[in-house]
Amino acid sequence: MSDSRTLLIRYDEIGLKGRNRKYFENCLLNNIKRALSGLDGLRFRVPRGRIMIDMASPLADECSRRLGFVPGIASFSVGYPVNPDFEEMAALGIELIEPHLKSGLELKFCVRTQRTDKTFHKTSTEINFEVGSRIMSAFSEKGLVVNIKQAEIAIEIEVGRGEIILFDHRIPGIRGLPVGCSGNVLSLLSGGIDSPVSSYFMMRRGCRVHFIFFDNQPFLGRGGLDKVLRLAKILNRYQTWGRVYVVPFQDIQVAIRDHCSPENRVVLYRRLMYRISQRVAEKIKCQGLVTGESLGQVASQTLENLAAVSCVVPMSVFRPLIGMDKQEIIAQSRKIQTYETSIEPSPDCCSVFMPSRPATKSRKDRLERDEAKFPWQELMQEAMDKTEVIDLDSQEGI
């Protein structure tokens, strides 16, 4: 077995994008380069419809681990470069299959060849036969059987111009679109379970996601921010570069508590959060806001209340979780590895001064009447002036 490896990266969805294909390919390639930065001696190539990376074999595991975080990748394989020699290909196939054979048990296998170099002297079917029959004869009476449709192990061979790569499995990627190709959005990230999942969904649709957190430190302590930063770092693995905007929110909350109707508090907090988020989003060229709201999950997330908050901003508000139930959201948060951090106990800022009966059907006129009772524009400006920006380091936490 040679000590070099070639990683083969496939990307169906972006392959479908017609004339934009080159743009998507470049975006994905740059993201992969960023995700793999710090690993030496990688050689990147983009033959049609594929990204290939040549490397020394000890790097293959670390590269594979990191590629598992890159949106836009449909699947990838760690391949072995081989010579156009069927004996050599079969010998490698034998080496790869051997550990899977268990005495007395049948193992279904097949050889599949894809040939982009049409000048190669054998067709795909002939190559399958040449390599497959050699492997079969090595394992005669050891339980190996050919089964093309239900193969438990497939030895795949890609014959390209001037190179042949052999591999034995495909590792699923997270699919979707490469981060950055759809534009930028700003995600309202609280320390809960939902908003990290909604942020991830937007990344997977090609958005670079920056984060905004409304901090009520004097009432809740530094723990809330610390947790949000840890969540943002976990999420940043999927995009490698993003920012967190931390907005001091205590003065606004106190003013709402002191001047407005208790049942409107949560919706009023949200309206201020949305307004500030929109200003920040415009400044940093984000084209939409993202929240973790899901219809009917809590009192503030009824159709009426969602409308009462969305209407204060002219910008798109994306709610990727709107139709999901809590169990589905939890399952997704476990998958993206934010769940354990999200469930750490920490008070959330919207439950501060929580009224016992929040309104489920806020009325615009009553909300506006409440807002007229305190200088929210000034408080909003102050909060924005004191906003802190934190850069998420691309490598930290990967």
> Which stretch of DSSP H or E encloses residue 333?
helix 326-335
**Part in contact with Mg ion (CB under 5 A); list of ranges 110-118, 131-139, 186-194, 361-369:** 186-194
Helices (DSSP H) in 5-76: which residue ranges? 12-15, 21-35, 60-67
Determine if 192 is a binding residue for Mg ion (CB under 5 A): yes
* Per-residue H/E/C for 349-365: HHHCCCCCCCCCCCCHH
Kindly tell me which of 24 and 200 has the beta carbon lying closer to ligand ATP: 200
Residues of the shown chain interacting with ligand ATP in the complex, contacts defined by CB under 6 A: 188-190, 192-195, 212-214, 291-293, 297-298, 300, 348-350
* Distance (Å, whole) CA 337 – CA 240: 16
- The structure tokens 């999420």 sit at 235
* Distance (Å, whole) CA 16 – CA 11: 9
Contact pattern for Mg ion over residues 346 through 385, marking x by CB under 5 A: --x-------------------------------------
Kindly tell me which of 66 and 227 has the beta carbon lying closer to Mg ion: 227
Closest separation in Å from C-beta 294 to ligand ATP: 7
Closest separation in Å from C-beta 314 to ligand ATP: 19
Determine if 160 is a binding residue for Mg ion (CB under 5 A): no
Closest separation in Å from C-beta 71 to ligand ATP: 20
Backbone angles phi, psi at 142, to 5 degrees: -115, 15
Kindly tell me which of 67 and 186 has the beta carbon lying closer to ligand ATP: 186
Closest separation in Å from C-beta 9 to Mg ion: 37
Q: What Å distances lie between residue 237 and 160, 289, 292, 392, 394, CA to CA?
A: 32, 20, 19, 10, 8
Kindly tell me which of 71 and 192 has the beta carbon lying closer to ligand ATP: 192
User: Which partner in Mg ion, ligand ATP, none is near 333 (CB below 5 to 8 A by kind)?
Assistant: none
User: Which partner in ligand ATP, Mg ion, none is near 297 (CB below 5 to 8 A by kind)?
Assistant: ligand ATP
Helix axes 250-259, 376-385, angle to 10 degrees: 170
The DSSP-derived string for 137-178 is HHTTTTTEEE-STT-SEEEEEEEETTEEEEES--EE---SB-
Q: Strand 153-160 to strand 163-167: parallel, antiparallel, or no bridges (unpaired)?
A: antiparallel
User: Which partner in Mg ion, ligand ATP, none is near 189 (CB below 5 to 8 A by kind)?
Assistant: ligand ATP
Kindly tell me which of 150 and 351 has the beta carbon lying closer to Mg ion: 351
Kindly tell me which of 127 and 306 has the beta carbon lying closer to ligand ATP: 306
Closest separation in Å from C-beta 293 to ligand ATP: 5
Closest separation in Å from C-beta 194 to Mg ion: 7
* Distance (Å, whole) CA 71 – CA 383: 34
Yes or no: say if 212 and 187 are a contact pair by the CB < 8 Å rule. yes
Looking at 6, 190, 199, 236, which residue binds Mg ion (CB under 5 A)?
190
- The structure tokens 């993201």 sit at 31
User: Which partner in ligand ATP, Mg ion, none is near 268 (CB below 5 to 8 A by kind)?
Assistant: none
Closest separation in Å from C-beta 248 to ligand ATP: 11
Determine if 224 is a binding residue for Mg ion (CB under 5 A): no
3-state class (DSSP) for residue 115: strand
SS3 content of the chain, % helix, strand, coil (to 5): 45, 20, 35
**Residue ranges that bind Mg ion, judged by CB under 5 A:** 190, 192, 348
